[in-house]
Structure 1
Amino acid sequence: MAACAICNGDKADAGAIVLHDLEERGLYIRPGATHAATLQRAIATPVMDLAGDLWLLVDAHTRTPYERES
């Protein structure tokens, strides 16, 4: 994920609650993860676009709508 220097620094200095929120939104990848573990977590974690819609990312060019569980 790309981030500007200011946002990346804010993320690096954030507390556990903020990091947990970012991770739940699909915006934070934990350091030290294996590529396989990171890939599986990315596949299973919905991400939110700017309009607030949730998506599952299939590959670099494909996404599918995320259906929230009732």
Structure 2
Amino acid sequence: TEIALKVSQVQKGVTDFTTSIDSMRISRDRTLADIDLFERQTVELNRKLASLGSEKDVLNVQVQTAQ
């Protein structure tokens, strides 16, 4: 019947919309995970950079002292 057809179309529309929302959530979660990873890598690289800067300063002092 016509009503059953309309109900079926609405149900399909709701299912498609729900699937679309789920897809957006998955995409968002992946993006947030990537951002978190990049932030952690940035913190680690900044820590290494600071450590290397300190090591460079120590070596510069040693070179100047040796001259």
TM-score of the alignment, normalized to the shorter chain, above 0.5: no
Higher strand proportion, which one? 1
Higher helix proportion, which one? 2
The structure, 1 or 2, with the larger RCO (C-alpha pairs under 8 Å, 6+ apart) is 1
| Interval containing the TM-score (normalised by the shorter chain) | under 0.3
